[in-house]
């Protein structure tokens, strides 16, 4: 069973706002996420999000009690969407090498894993104890999934944990440094990273 990494606040019944716009909870979360990525957590305010959605702030209160609830839901959304695919890949079917490759593809393709969102949430965590706790919990879940993969490959537990940390810390550091490599550049050296980080036989 895949570990549960977060649950978004249940959406309230959809209604029409005073200015005739119908917006789902996910519409508000998407707008909040867009502002977070561009301008940071301090810019994620009710008026700013309403403007992003093209409605009045009154529509916000059909979905959330206040800004704090919006931020909690945004954080839960990040936990779910930026971790579930990664953990599913690491704990899914296949050999350890195949599962590692599946996780690496998520990082390379950045379709089911958004590195910009991870970075934005980590920055948010520097000024929020609640967010810092959430980031720590998610980091531990991801590292544990890598550790279990290495144990499944026959590596003893202590070394498996060290390898898992090296792999994970490497990737977090890669995003933090914002190297700006193209997709082609990343693809061209991905096999070398794979060999150095795992010691597994190279995949096809």
Which of the four pLDDT bands, split at 50, 70 and 90, describes residue 202?
low
Domain ranges of the chain: 25-73, 82-198
Between these two residues, 17 and 61, which has the higher pLDDT value?
61
DSSP state of 87: H
Could you say which of 1.10.10.60, 3.30.1360.30, 3.90.180.10, 1.10.10.10 is the CATH number of the domain covering 25-73? Answer: 1.10.10.60
CA 122/CA 133 separation, integer angstroms: 11
Burial (0-12, 13-18, 19+ Cβ within 10 Å), 103: buried
Q: Structure pTM?
A: 0.83
pLDDT digits (tens, 9 = 90+) for 132-142: 999 999 999 99
* Model pLDDT, residue 1: 34
* Model pLDDT, residue 59: 85
Contacts of 114 (CB under 8 A, 6+ apart): 81, 82
CATH classification of 82-198 is 1.10.3470, yes or no? Answer: no
């Amino acid at each position: 069973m895949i570990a549960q990494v977060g649950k978004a606040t249940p959406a309230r019944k959809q209604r029409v706002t005073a200015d005739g716009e119908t917006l789902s909870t996910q519409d508000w979360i998407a707008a909040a996420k867009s502002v977070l990525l561009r301008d940071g957590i301090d810019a994620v305010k009710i008026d700013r999000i309403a403007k992003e959605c093209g409605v009045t702030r009154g529509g916000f209160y059909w979905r959330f009690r206040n800004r704090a609830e919006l931020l909690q839901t945004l954080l839960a959304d990040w936990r779910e969407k930026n971790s579930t695919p990664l953990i599913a890949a690491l704990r899914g079917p296949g050999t350890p090498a195949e599962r590692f490759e599946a996780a690496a593809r998520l990082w390379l393709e950045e379709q089911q894993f958004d590195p910009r969102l991870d970075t934005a949430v980590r920055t948010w965590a520097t000024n929020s104890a609640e967010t810092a706790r959430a980031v720590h919990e998610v980091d531990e879940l991801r590292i544990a999934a890598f550790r279990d993969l290495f144990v499944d490959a026959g590596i003893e537990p202590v070394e498996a944990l060290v390898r898992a940390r090296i792999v994970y810390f490497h990737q977090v550091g890669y995003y933090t440094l914002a190297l700006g490599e193209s997709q082609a550049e990343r693809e061209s050296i991905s096999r070398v990273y794979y060999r150095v980080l795992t010691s597994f036989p190279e995949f096809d």
